[in-house]
A and B are shown apart, each in its own frame.
Chain A
């Protein structure tokens, strides 16, 4: 063997950096700084230059305010409301999957946002298997990514169309989840990050809301449905603490609006009714702000990471094992590079 030493981890010799300056009896050396932490800035620069991609899917019966919520989240018309123009237009016979992309930019950070709408979901009389087209779409995106990844000549940056997050709209009945909800979430939580929300929450009083949320959480637990943030993916204690707080609050009760009203001298997004104005971004009124913070301001990168390192990898394992009756982790390529075979 040509190497003298197998790379081995040595514990830190004299640490570097201004925090741990070297001690001298003589006057202190000025240049103890190496510059390793400059890599953070380099990474940030690279990320800004490349831009980001985010793909969000919204699922729920028509009329629950999916488009409005998306527009409220991103403060622009990312989603067009599907209003049936005339009585002649029928409710769609099948579920469509409509994907619309926009380039948005904020403080130099560019993002390609794709909102995937699912009109027709839950609208038919017979909704059995309504989850199928959606599941198929999600798996198709994984397939596209996988195909590009296993190409010999592949793109430098594989375009990411995988669904990072699926927001599921629960109608505000105030009682409990319906079989449709349970069935959908049970199946889809295995392949994508699901964020359930209570839509049009301004029809529930605070007590009704808390009761509903508790019922929903119980039912999710009873059915073994793991929604985002999933317990099993908590990385460390800190993560767990933060995520537990979130898990105690989901599903978020949201209200969406793209209209601004004057409230106490400020212009705020809200819904104006005869009995008052509901302020969308006021956490005393609804939990939109929590949803926005979770999805965008704090956990966006995490959502994407879980999609790529867990959901996608699971799809890949399933797919590559499809014809393999034996299962396991045998890579046929090892057959060629080594001359011995090991039988387990």
Chain B
């Protein structure tokens, strides 16, 4: 039984409707309308991640714009114009507004556009973006993984700062944006827009957009499929690229302090929509489309990277007609390969080890033998000396014996001669 026709009205937008699923009327309040709240509550507990990449020449105002956008003072380093190569500097901050915690990473290029030869300038940027994708891919492919805890460092939005020349895009701009448009959501902005007059600005914007189109550069389009935001997004799409002015300094205007740049000829107010498009940028980037930027990064740019990377590594999906060569099977085949290699290395190492042990053993045995023979030698010497000493001792003893014999004999003789002399005397006296 088909459902009430009015029920279908709500299902119109569902593009994943199976034909076999019947819509059903509910006879009362069930309560799953709280699901979006449950989902949002979970996200509040977890916090959000957002990563912005700013590409632009040195001194064009990237850091100032970030400070102005987020109403805070990020740590800023003034860069020199003499960097030999383009580098990227990434800094992460924890911000909070009411109950929403945001982990914001701001990545700035350093030395972009300063080199004499700018042919390779785009490469470090592409490499950085790819590295973040790679890092996520590695986590996703791990066996034991924790994706829901993973700090997502993939670039969600790329603000490309165009110099306010008033004429057209530089070839560096075109080349760089072309290299990046399939990897990241590009939002071009015209920096330091207070140096261009209103009429020049209008012409400049048109020129930029037509150059982008004719060069096939796909910049990020604010989504127009959701009716709640379609209107504002469509209108904003027509204002691209946003002409921005950044300032963290405040100037007194009437009774209020406003963020502005003060010139002798007037005050450019950052948050005044008739002065520049700053408010539009903040609205689009943060208030309306932050989630869509994150989603596009994940479902489009990251998927493309993943597909290319895996194909490059030799995995492939199925042919429609034959059995699916799934990632799973290739995974397993590669694992076997890996384990065999591991085994081989292990055997090699074990052999080496055994060899070394043998050698060492031989060495030690040799040393032992030597030691043993030394010992024998010393023992012999010792025995010889001892024998010599014994002989000497014996000789000494013999001497002693003969000496004492001689002494005894001598004493005896002496005694005898004394008695003989005494007798002689006695005889004389008589």
Listed in ascending order, the chain A residues whose CB lies under 8 Å from chain B are: 2-19, 24, 26-27, 29-40, 42-49, 51-52, 54, 73-78, 101-112, 146-147, 150-154, 156-157, 159, 235, 292-293, 296-302, 305, 309, 313, 316-317, 320-321, 323-326, 328-336, 341, 343
Instruction: State how many angstroms separate the Cβ of A88 from the closest Cβ of chain B.
Output: 28
Tell me which residues across on chain A come within 8 A of B282, comparing CB atoms: 34-35
Q: Does B226 contact A (CB under 8 A)?
A: yes
Q: Are A292's CB and B31's CB within 8 A?
A: yes
Q: Are B30's CB and A296's CB within 8 A?
A: yes
Interface positions, chain B 292-348, Cβ under 8 Å from A, are 292, 295, 299, 303, 306-307, 310-311, 313, 315-317, 326-328, 331-332, 334-339, 341-342, 345-346
Q: Are A2's CB and B256's CB within 8 A?
A: no
Q: Are B143's CB and A103's CB within 8 A?
A: no
In-complex Cβ contact of B17 among A3, A5, A103, A157 (8 A): A103
Interface centre among B92, B288, B335 (most CB of A within 10 A): B335
The 8 residue pairs across chains A and B that have the minimum distance between CB atoms: A301-B38, A17-B97, A42-B291, A35-B287, A150-B327, A332-B334, A107-B33, A297-B31
Q: Are B153's CB and A4's CB within 8 A?
A: no
Q: Are A38's CB and B30's CB within 8 A?
A: no
Q: Does B115 contact A (CB under 8 A)?
A: no
Q: Are B32's CB and A296's CB within 8 A?
A: yes
Instruction: State how many angstroms separate the Cβ of B150 from the closest Cβ of chain A.
Output: 12
Interface positions, chain B 269-295, Cβ under 8 Å from A, are 271, 282-283, 286-292, 295
Q: Are A40's CB and B327's CB within 8 A?
A: no
Q: Are A109's CB and B334's CB within 8 A?
A: no
Q: Are B339's CB and A156's CB within 8 A?
A: no
Q: Are A36's CB and B100's CB within 8 A?
A: yes
Instruction: State how many angstroms separate the Cβ of A164 from the closest Cβ of chain B.
Output: 12
Closest residue on chain A to residue B334 by CB atoms: A332
Q: Are A321's CB and B143's CB within 8 A?
A: yes
Closest residue on chain A to residue B11 by CB atoms: A103
Q: Are A302's CB and B21's CB within 8 A?
A: no
Listed in ascending order, the chain B residues whose CB lies under 8 Å from chain A are: 7, 10-11, 13-14, 16-18, 20-45, 48, 69-75, 85-100, 102-103, 105, 110, 124, 127-128, 138, 141-145, 147-148, 153, 226, 228-229, 250, 252, 255-259, 271, 282-283, 286-292, 295, 299, 303, 306-307, 310-311, 313, 315-317, 326-328, 331-332, 334-339, 341-342, 345-346, 349
Tell me which residues across on chain A come within 8 A of B10, comparing CB atoms: 105, 108, 110
Q: Are B145's CB and A30's CB within 8 A?
A: no
In-complex Cβ contact of A7 among B71, B91, B259 (8 A): B91
Whole-angstrom CA separation of A31 from B17 in the bound complex: 44
Closest residue on chain B to residue A12 by CB atoms: B94
Tell me which residues across on chain B come within 8 A of A78, comparing CB atoms: 24
Q: Are B345's CB and A104's CB within 8 A?
A: no
Tell me which residues across on chain B come within 8 A of A335, comparing CB atoms: 334, 337-338, 341
Whole-angstrom CA separation of A108 from B36 in the bound complex: 10
Q: Are B128's CB and A30's CB within 8 A?
A: no
Q: Are B20's CB and A152's CB within 8 A?
A: no
Tell me which residues across on chain B come within 8 A of A332, comparing CB atoms: 331, 334-335, 337-338
Q: Are A341's CB and B341's CB within 8 A?
A: yes
Whole-angstrom CA separation of A104 from B346 in the bound complex: 59
Q: Are A151's CB and B24's CB within 8 A?
A: no
26 A/B residue pairs, CB under 8 Å, sorted by A: A2-B127, A4-B110, A9-B93, A10-B94, A17-B98, A27-B255, A27-B257, A34-B69, A34-B97, A38-B287, A78-B24, A103-B17, A106-B30, A108-B33, A109-B35, A296-B34, A301-B38, A301-B42, A329-B144, A330-B143, A330-B338, A333-B138, A341-B345, A343-B342, A343-B345, A343-B349
Q: Are A109's CB and B100's CB within 8 A?
A: no
Whole-angstrom CA separation of A301 from B33 in the bound complex: 12
Q: Are B36's CB and A147's CB within 8 A?
A: no
In-complex Cβ contact of B105 among A7, A49, A146 (8 A): A7
Whole-angstrom CA separation of A264 from B159 in the bound complex: 65
Tell me which residues across on chain B come within 8 A of A302, comparing CB atoms: 38, 42
Q: Are B97's CB and A105's CB within 8 A?
A: no
Whole-angstrom CA separation of A333 from B7 in the bound complex: 49
Q: Are A331's CB and B291's CB within 8 A?
A: no
Q: Are B13's CB and A49's CB within 8 A?
A: yes
Whole-angstrom CA separation of A42 from B43 in the bound complex: 12
Instruction: State how many angstroms separate the Cβ of A11 from the closest Cβ of chain B.
Output: 7
Q: Are A317's CB and B95's CB within 8 A?
A: no
Whole-angstrom CA separation of A341 from B341 in the bound complex: 9
Tell me which residues across on chain B come within 8 A of A324, comparing CB atoms: 335, 339
Instruction: State how many angstroms separate the Cβ of B129 from the closest Cβ of chain A.
Output: 12
Tell me which residues across on chain A come within 8 A of B85, comparing CB atoms: 2
Whole-angstrom CA separation of A301 from B21 in the bound complex: 22
Closest residue on chain A to residue B37 by CB atoms: A44
Whole-angstrom CA separation of A153 from B69 in the bound complex: 37
Tell me which residues across on chain B come within 8 A of A44, comparing CB atoms: 36-37, 39-40
Instruction: State how many angstroms separate the Cβ of A209 from the closest Cβ of chain B.
Output: 24
Instruction: State how many angstroms separate the Cβ of A317 from the closest Cβ of chain B.
Output: 6
Q: Are B143's CB and A329's CB within 8 A?
A: yes
Instruction: State how many angstroms separate the Cβ of A68 from the closest Cβ of chain B.
Output: 14
Whole-angstrom CA separation of A74 from B20 in the bound complex: 19
Instruction: State how many angstroms separate the Cβ of A231 from the closest Cβ of chain B.
Output: 19
Tell me which residues across on chain A come within 8 A of B138, comparing CB atoms: 331, 333-334
Interface centre among B103, B228, B288, B338 (most CB of A within 10 A): B338
Instruction: State how many angstroms separate the Cβ of B320 from the closest Cβ of chain A.
Output: 12
Instruction: State how many angstroms separate the Cβ of A2 from the closest Cβ of chain B.
Output: 5
Instruction: State how many angstroms separate the Cβ of A91 from the closest Cβ of chain B.
Output: 28
Tell me which residues across on chain B come within 8 A of A305, comparing CB atoms: 42, 148
Q: Are B74's CB and A13's CB within 8 A?
A: yes
Contacts A2-B128, A105-B11, A296-B31 known; 4 new A-B pairs at CB < 8 A: A10-B92, A13-B93, A29-B250, A75-B27
Tell me which residues across on chain B come within 8 A of A316, comparing CB atoms: 143
Q: Are B40's CB and A43's CB within 8 A?
A: yes
In-complex Cβ contact of B36 among A47, A76, A292, A330 (8 A): A47
Known: A10-B93, A16-B95, A16-B97. A154 touches B71 (CB 8 A): no
Q: Are A320's CB and B97's CB within 8 A?
A: no
Whole-angstrom CA separation of A146 from B140 in the bound complex: 12
Tell me which residues across on chain B come within 8 A of A320, comparing CB atoms: 143, 328, 331
Closest residue on chain A to residue B339 by CB atoms: A326
Tell me which residues across on chain A come within 8 A of B142, comparing CB atoms: 329, 331
